[in-house]
Amino acid sequence: MNPEFVFNLLITIIILNFIKDYYLSYLNSKNFETKIPEVVADVYDKKKYVKSQEYKKIQYNFSNFSRLYGLILILLFFYFDGFLIFDQLSKIFFNSTILVSLSFLGLIYFANELLSLPLSIYYNFIIEESFGFNNTTLKIFILDKLKSWLLTILFGGSVLSFLIFQYESIGKNFWITAWVFLGFLSILLNGLYSQLIVPIFNKQTKLEKGELRTQIENYSNKVGFDLSNIFVIDGSKRSTKANAYFSGFGKQKRVTLYDTLLNKLNTNQIIAVIAHEIGHYKKNHIIFNIIFSIIQSGIMLYLLSILINMPVFSESLSLEEPSFHIGLVCFSILFTPISELISLFFNLFSRKFEYEADKFAKKTFDSSYLIEALKILSKDSLSNLTPHPKYVWWYYSHPTLVQRISRL
């Protein structure tokens, strides 16, 4: 391989991925049905259905603009030696190879964050606001950004420092210790996410004693699932959309309910949603996802260890010497086709798992309440009721609402 070939290969992968995303998005945008799907006709009136399709159109246009904007920025960065400029800037301020790599990757991260900031502001304060979803104030938006940036610097910087140190100390076999480290970190974060990360952004309070808590505990005891940690999160301070999720292992496992969910659903509907989530635990879907993630990271690290020190990568981006950060950038692009295939595989299993969790809820509680909950949440979030099958196959981690209801 020569530098020119590698450069053109990187550009080709970026453009082909853009075309793929644009094409599938186009198919999805044209998959409209004027008639309300029969299975949701009881909760959707004509006005609400039209509004959901308007939301779909606006999101499609916004996504297209965002993709094109991102593509133009990337191509400009490639063709005007952006990588060389950032590399030279990093070397002006630092001598340590670890600090140079951290500085280089940090410059790329923050350049991307700042350039995409107008889009984020427009999406939250114009699009989401116009459809009644946004509750985020400017203060919350700014604080969220600052907290995210600080977490990225502290956490992301620490992880990258470890990887670079291992690479410099061990050489090509660094991927083994890096894999063990990242695997342990993945398990730790899955177990303690609600205790470590969530409090930085949201307030969590234990669900008060009352009918809902009693009914949840009665159901969890009936199915042999110890659930004493039931929390409510103040999701309404950012959005009117509702959600619920499980996190943690063993005694640390907990269910977290958005306050918006409590306002939208009745007791039986909430229990049905929790029954679905418990189904994921009972069917070992959580363990599968963690193992799948660890295997994926192992494959990535092994391939990275083979390719990262190839001089042709640096030469293709106008740099003279190979480095960890340039190898990482080139690898992340070259890995895109493999990453897409892995995502397809994961989404296939994920959709299967959703059906299994629905079946568990149906068997142990009452499918009618789960159907009611799914319909209400879909209506209130203006979700797409008629996505294109190819779009679903490629991107969706969950079956469509119509597909789920047909199985319940």
Q: What are 92's two structure tokens?
A: 């002006």
> Rounded to whole angstroms, how far apart are CA atoms 346 and 253?
24
Please tell me whether residue 223 adopts helix, strand or coil conformation. coil
> Rounded to whole angstroms, how far apart are CA atoms 321 and 325?
11
> Rounded to whole angstroms, how far apart are CA atoms 225 and 221?
6
Amino acid at 79: Y
Task: Indicate the pairing of strand 244-247 with strand 230-233.
Answer: unpaired
- Residue closest to 361 by CA, chosen among 251, 260, 249, 244: 244
Q: Within 10 Å of residue 280's Cβ, how many Cβ atoms?
A: 20
Close Cβ partners of 220 (under 8 Å, ≥ 6 residues apart): 226, 227, 274, 278
> Rounded to whole angstroms, how far apart are CA atoms 365 and 386?
28
Q: How far is CA 97 from the centre of its chain?
A: 31
Q: In what order do the strands lie in the sheet with 204-206?
A: 204-206, 230-233, 254-258, 244-247
Task: Indicate the pairing of strand 254-258 with strand 230-233.
Answer: parallel
- Residue closest to 55 by CA, chosen among 128, 134, 135, 136: 128
DSSP string, 136-187: --HHHHHHHHHHHHHHIIIIIHHHHHHHHHHHHHH-TTHHHHHHHHHHHHHH
> Rounded to whole angstroms, how far apart are CA atoms 353 and 280?
7
Amino acid at 284: N
**Please, are residues 407 and 41 in contact by the beta-carbon 8 Å criterion?**
no
Catalytic residues: 277, 358
**Please, are residues 161 and 98 in contact by the beta-carbon 8 Å criterion?**
yes
- Residue closest to 90 by CA, chosen among 80, 78, 101: 101
